[in-house]
Amino acid sequence: MKNIKIVGLILACLMVSPAFAEEMKIGVVNASVVLDQSPQKERALARLEKEFSTRSKSLESKHKELRAAQDKLNRDAAILSTEERQVQERKIINDQRELKRLQDEYSEDLSIRRNEELRKLEEEIAETIVELAKKESYDLVLYQGVIFASEKADLTSKVLEKLKAK
């Protein structure tokens, strides 16, 4: 049954007249190139950097403080009483847990925001591709999942130009 469908599809493709095929205007956009080279990506990364820089610096500072406390405990361990040493060790362990929790929250929040920015960028790219396709009367534009396309069908540079103009 599956072979019959495949043969039918091949026959249908062969029956399409050459005149119809020539009339179709098909374009292809390289998704990875557009995502990598769009100026909107740089702006999104800058927004994320600005939004998360304070938290990142705070985490770095807490990490340095924790490392300094560990170094101080290692230096002073010989002169501290057992009770004082245990109190400081517990404080360091609690601080390590808190730092790990804060780092996990930071990573999760950054990931969520990065995905939000990526979705916005993909929507803007899709809108730009549709605008270009309508303006230049394309019948079909492929964006993802293309293995090969000739330069004649490649719209990537035009899409990038429109994105840069926005």
Distance of CA 3 to the CA centre of its chain: 40
Note the pLDDT of residue 110.
97
Note the pLDDT of residue 24.
84
Residue 49 has phi, psi (to 5 degrees) of -60, -45
Note the pLDDT of residue 94.
97
Note the pLDDT of residue 22.
60
Using CB atoms within 10 A of its CB, is residue 68 exposed (0-12), middle (13-18) or buried (19+)?
Answer: exposed
What is the 3-state secondary structure of 53-67?
Answer: HHHHHHHHHHHHHHH
In the numeric block, the tokens 């601080």 are attached to 95
Terminal CA-to-CA distance of the chain, rounded, Å? 51
Q: How far apart are CA 27 and CA 139, in angstroms?
A: 8
Whether this prediction's pTM lies above 0.75 is answered by no
Listed as ranges, residues in the chain with pLDDT below 50 are 1-14, 17, 19, 21
Residue 69 has phi, psi (to 5 degrees) of -65, -40
Nearest to 31 by CA among 114, 134, 106, 128: 128
Note the pLDDT of residue 64.
97
* CATH number for the domain running over 17-165: 3.30.910.20
Nearest to 156 by CA among 134, 125, 135: 125
Domain ranges of the chain: 17-165
Q: How far apart are CA 101 and CA 110, in angstroms?
A: 14
